[in-house]
C-alpha cells in the first residue's frame, strides 16, 4: 500500500536517501532547509538511510545470488580445449531503404593468439593478444524478432538462426 512507519512519505524518504548518498547527513539537512524549505533533522535522514539501505542491501544480495559466479558450472579439464577463444556480440539499428529502421545483431567467435611485438613507445618486445580465425553472423530483424518468447532465435549456441534474414 506504500505506507511508511515514519512521518515521511515514500517519495520524501526516497529523496532523503538519495541526497544522503551524495552529501553528508548534516549537509543533506541544510539542502532540504535551503532549497526544499523543509526542516528535516540530519538524524531523520540517517534513520531513513539506515532503514532503506538495509532493504536495498537485501535486494542487491538477492539479485547477486541469481547471477553469482557459483551458479556457473564449467566443464571439467578433460573437456576443455587448449586454444583460447573469444566471443564478441553487439547490436544497433540500421535504416534499410523501403523497410525503415531494423535491429541488427552481430556475433563473432575467434581464436586468441599472442605474438611478440615491439612496443612503439618503450621499444621493448611484448606479448600482445590478437584475434584470428574470425567467424561472424549478422542478423537483421525487428525488435519483436529478437524478443518474442519462444522465438526462433537465440544467442546461446552461437549458431545463430534468424527470422528476419541473415548475413554470414
Q: Give the domain ranges of the chain.
A: 10-70, 81-167
pLDDT tens column, 93-134: 888 888 888 888 888 888 889 889 998 888 889 988 888 988
The Cα 30–Cα 109 span in angstroms is 55
> Residue 164 pLDDT > 60, yes or no?
no
Q: How confident is the model at residue 165, as a pLDDT?
A: 40
pLDDT tens column, 35-72: 989 999 999 999 998 888 788 788 778 777 776 666 66
Helices (H), the chain: 10-20, 25-34, 42-66, 143-147
The Cα 146–Cα 127 span in angstroms is 39
Q: Are 24 and 43 in contact (CB under 8 A)?
A: no
The Cα 103–Cα 140 span in angstroms is 6
What's the Cα-to-Cα distance from 5 to each of 1, 32, 52, 85, 145, rounded to whole Å? 12, 21, 12, 54, 46
Instruction: Give the best-scoring range by mean pLDDT among 4-8, 51-55, 71-75.
Output: 51-55
Query: Once rounded to an integer, what is the mean pLDDT over residues 139-166?
Result: 46
Strand order in the sheet with 125-141: 85-96, 100-118, 125-141, 166-167
Amino acid at each position: 500500500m506504500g505506507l511508511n512507519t515514519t512521518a515521511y512519505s515514500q517519495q520524501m524518504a526516497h529523496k532523503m536517501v538519495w541526497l544522503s548518498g551524495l552529501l553528508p547527513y548534516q549537509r543533506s539537512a541544510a539542502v532540504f532547509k535551503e532549497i526544499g524549505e523543509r526542516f528535516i533533522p540530519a538524524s531523520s535522514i540517517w534513520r531513513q538511510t539506515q532503514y532503506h539501505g538495509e532493504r536495498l542491501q537485501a535486494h542487491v544480495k538477492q539479485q547477486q545470488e541469481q547471477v553469482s559466479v557459483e551458479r556457473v558450472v564449467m566443464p571439467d579439464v578433460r573437456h576443455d580445449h587448449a586454444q583460447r577463444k573469444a566471443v564478441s556480440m553487439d547490436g544497433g539499428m540500421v535504416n534499410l531503404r523501403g523497410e525503415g529502421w531494423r535491429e541488427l545483431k552481430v556475433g563473432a567467435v575467434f581464436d586468441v593468439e599472442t605474438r611478440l611485438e615491439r612496443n612503439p613507445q618503450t621499444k621493448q618486445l611484448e606479448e600482445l593478444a590478437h584475434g584470428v580465425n574470425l567467424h561472424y553472423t549478422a542478423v537483421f530483424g525487428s525488435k519483436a524478432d529478437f524478443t518474442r518468447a519462444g522465438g526462433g532465435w537465440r544467442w546461446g549456441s552461437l549458431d545463430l538462426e534468424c527470422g528476419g534474414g541473415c548475413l554470414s
